[in-house]
């Protein structure tokens, strides 16, 4: 089958990790006889440098025409450290999410057996953790009215949600729970925030449509604590934009590295797949960043296109790389492999999913099977 994939490498380590995800997709195309046609587009600091705009119109057009979008990372320290900057790289991503209506962000969090020792959390606490975070992505405080008083002494960010916005993502979260362990936790701050009370009321009213799902509520401060104390209690977490941003970074600690967490941002017409990590500018160009989150994002992209066997082929290759310790320094400090070599191994393994691997060749960067 033929698919058009928009590719936005973005800033920092984005281009390096996306190159590995493309290698994995190319292997999938070869093995399963598909044709993936990539169109590259600009977004973020690199787009500001070239065009003055973090999200050029051309990028939106390329994305709209695509079957799926693969995105790397966004951000650059020269903007982070300048609160008065008029344009910021992140505006590009936020506008793209909004323009394409990508309201549902799914972030799976798993404790991989092989990496349990990497997590600063105790093994018994995290072993077997498998959470799917449903983060609302196009509303709330991220997109509310922002104001800075003329004298620069007061600022505000409005947070607004409608029943429509809550219901459309809540349906998806309930359905995900039905296909998993049938447990949904709404994370909010309903003891303080009016928007959270609307979330609670709306989601509670929907529960009767999903009688097989147990619905629970947790205040976000408690949820932040529970995620570290007992992450296994969670199945699907549903939450608003800002809380989802925060607790998904927190949850990444369970997996041992933020370099492992992939995500899907889905709307009615389009879908974008990206690692949850940032642009890691200190590592840019050094071939040390973990490409797994990007590669796993490519797997989520295939899943979205209905290519389930193909997605599994990527997941198995990632699993194998972890088992063999063919990993970057964040999860393998003793014998780290470069970003590109991890990518080479994974794309080779997709083509030759065999256990008989010639280790000396892996070290040479050619993981040919003997």
Q: Are 199 and 215 in contact (CB under 8 A)?
A: no
The CA distance from 193 to 136, in Å, is: 16
DSSP, collapsed to helix, strand or coil, labels residue 357 as strand
Q: Which does 93 bind (CB under 5 to 8 A by kind): Mg ion, ligand IPM, none?
A: ligand IPM
CB of 276 vs ligand IPM, minimal distance in Å: 5
Q: What are phi and psi of 132, to 5 degrees?
A: -120, 115
Nearer to ligand IPM, 21 or 74 (CB): 74
Binding piece for Mg ion, criterion CB under 5 A, among 127-135, 150-158, 237-245, 319-327: 237-245
Partner from Mg ion, ligand IPM, none binding residue 55, C-beta < 5-8 Å depending on class: none
Distance CA 240, CA 162 (A): 12
Rounded to an integer, what distance in angstroms lies between the CA atom of residue 13 and that of residue 191? 40
Which of these segments, 77-85, 207-215, 244-252, 320-328, binds Mg ion (CB under 5 A)? 244-252
- Residue closer to Mg ion by CB (options 28, 169) is 169
- Return the number of the residue (26 or 249) whose C-beta is nearest ligand IPM: 249
Indicate if 341 belongs to the active site. Answer: no
Phi, psi of 51 (to 5 degrees): -125, -10
Least distance in Å: CB of 185 to ligand IPM? 19
Known catalytic membership, residue 79: no
Residue 333, burial from CB neighbour count under 10 angstroms (0-12, 13-18, 19+)? exposed
348 is catalytic: no
By beta-carbon proximity to ligand IPM, the closer residue of 76 and 245 is: 245
To the nearest whole angstrom, how small is the minimum distance from the Cβ of residue 100 to Mg ion? 18
Residue nearest to ligand IPM (CB): 90
Catalytic residue among 79, 134, 142, 210: 142
Minimum distance from CB of 341 to ligand IPM (Å)?
A: 27
Contact, 107 vs 131, CB < 8 A? no
| Partner interacting with residue 106 (select from Mg ion, ligand IPM, none; CB below 5-8 Å by kind) | none
240 near Mg ion (CB under 5 A): no
Please, which residues bridge with residue 263 across strands?
Answer: 274
Q: Tell me if residue 67 is catalytic.
A: no
6 in Cβ contact with 39 (< 8 Å): yes
Kindly state the smallest distance separating residue 334's Cβ from ligand IPM, in Å.
Answer: 30
The catalytically annotated residue of 22, 110, 189, 341 is 189
Query: What is the layout of strands, in order, in the sheet containing 262-266?
Result: 35-40, 2-10, 68-73, 271-275, 262-266, 104-110, 130-136, 236-239, 183-188, 214-219
Q: Which is nearer to ligand IPM, 252 or 321 (CB)?
A: 252
**Rounded Cα distance, 370 and 367, in Å:** 9
Binding status of residue 245 toward Mg ion by CB under 5 A: yes
Binding site for ligand IPM (CB under 6 A): 74-75, 90, 93-94, 245, 276
CA distance 71 to 40: 10
Minimum CB distance to Mg ion, residue 97 (Å) = 12
Assess 90 for contact with Mg ion (CB under 5 A).
no
Under the binding rule (CB under 5 A), the answer on residue 165 touching Mg ion is no
The number of angstroms, rounded, from the C-alpha of 175 to the middle of its chain's C-alpha atoms is 20
| Rounded Cα gap, residues 200 and 93, in angstroms | 28
For the annotated catalytic residues, the residue numbers are 142, 189, 221, 245, 249
């Amino acid at each position: 089958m033929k698919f058009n994939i928009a590719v936005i490498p973005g800033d920092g380590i984005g281009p390096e990790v996306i190159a590995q995800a493309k290698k994995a997709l190319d292997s999938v195309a070869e093995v399963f006889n598909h044709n993936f046609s990539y169109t590259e587009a600009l977004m973020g600091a690199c787009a500001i440098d070239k065009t003055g705009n973090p999200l050029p119109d051309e990028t939106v057009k390329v994305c709209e025409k695509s079957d799926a979008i693969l995105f790397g990372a966004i951000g650059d320290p020269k903007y982070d450290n300048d609160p008065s900057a008029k344009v910021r790289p992140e505006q590009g991503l936020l506008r793209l999410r909004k323009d394409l209506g990508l309201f549902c962000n799914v972030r799976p969090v798993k404790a991989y057996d092989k990496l349990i020792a990497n997590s600063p959390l105790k093994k018994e606490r995290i072993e077997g953790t498998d959470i799917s975070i449903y983060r609302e992505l196009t509303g709330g405080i991220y997109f509310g009215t922002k104001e800075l008083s003329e004298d620069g002494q007061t600022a505000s960010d409005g947070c607004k949600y409608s029943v429509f916005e809550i219901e459309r993502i809540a349906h998806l979260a309930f359905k995900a729970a039905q296909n998993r362990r049938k447990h949904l936790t709404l994370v909010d701050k309903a003891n303080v925030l009016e928007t959270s009370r609307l979330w609670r009321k709306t989601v509670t009213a929907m529960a009767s449509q999903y009688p097989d799902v147990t619905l629970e509520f947790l205040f976000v401060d408690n949820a932040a604590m529970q995620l570290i104390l007992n992450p296994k209690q969670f199945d699907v977490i549903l939450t608003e934009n800002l809380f989802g941003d925060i607790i998904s970074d927190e949850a990444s600690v369970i997996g041992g590295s933020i370099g492992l967490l992939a995500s899907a941002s889905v709307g009615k017409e389009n879908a974008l797949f990206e690692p949850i990590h940032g642009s890691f500018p200190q590592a840019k160009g050094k071939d040390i960043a973990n490409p797994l989150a990007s590669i796993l994002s490519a797997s989520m992209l295939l899943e979205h296109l209905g290519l389930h066997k193909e997605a599994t082929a990527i997941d198995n290759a990632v699993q194998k790389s972890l088992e063999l310790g063919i990993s970057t320094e964040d999860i393998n400090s003793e014998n780290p492999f470069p970003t590109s070599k991890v990518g080479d191994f994974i794309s080779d393994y997709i083509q030759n999913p065999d256990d008989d691997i010639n280790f000396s060749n892996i070290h040479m960067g050619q993981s040919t099977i003997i």
